[in-house]
Amino acid sequence: MDIPALKTTAILIARLIFGGVFVMAATFKFIDITATASYIASAGFPFPLFLAWIAAIFETVLALALLTGAFFSEAALLAAAYVLFLALTFHGPSRWTGNQVDFGFFVDHFTFIAGLLFAAVHGPGDRLALRSSLFNRANASA
């Protein structure tokens, strides 16, 4: 078994999955930004339309970073924090009363967070990655 090739393939697939999730999320927000704003308003946030646009743009930037490998570790850490925020805000304990679906969504967010943290530590891989980073700047040019 060719372990380096398997590792490279697994990392590329993971990047496609991570990026794809954020591409889909951003696309759905852009397609119906008012529905996204309504959902944000239902959680009690002010300026829901503004926040919906910020979320859609942020998710697009995350997708680009995760897919290209540019600022990958930083993006994966930001994505993990963002997903934690989403889990607590939109699927947290206050929404569990008589609703097992939101509890399931809440738990699912943590598996995604775990993958993002793992990816942040290990980086974008050696293939098809721009490898720009704010971390380890001394090693970035090597």
Each residue's pLDDT tens digit, 49-88? 999 999 999 999 999 999 999 999 999 999 999 999 999 9
The pLDDT value given to residue 140: 44
Residues 84, 51, 104, 109, Cα dihedral to 10°: -30
- Which residue in 55, 37, 35, 54 sits closest to 46, CA to CA? 37
**List of residues 6+ apart from 135 with CB closer than 8 A:** 73, 74
Is the pTM of the predicted complex or chain greater than 0.95?
A: no
Q: Can you tell me which residue has the tokens 């399931």?
A: 104
In terms of residue numbers, what domain contains 118?
3-140
pLDDT over 70 percentage in the chain: 91
Counting Cα atoms < 13 Å in the Cβ hemisphere of 91 gives 16
Contact assessment for residue 18 and residue 119, using Cβ atoms and an 8 Å cutoff = yes
Q: What are phi and psi of 127, to 5 degrees?
A: -115, 140
The pLDDT value given to residue 134: 64
Structural domains in the chain (count): 1
The pLDDT value given to residue 76: 97
- Residues belonging to the chain: 142
Contact assessment for residue 51 and residue 45, using Cβ atoms and an 8 Å cutoff = yes
Question: Given a cut of 50, is residue 138 above it in pLDDT?
Answer: no
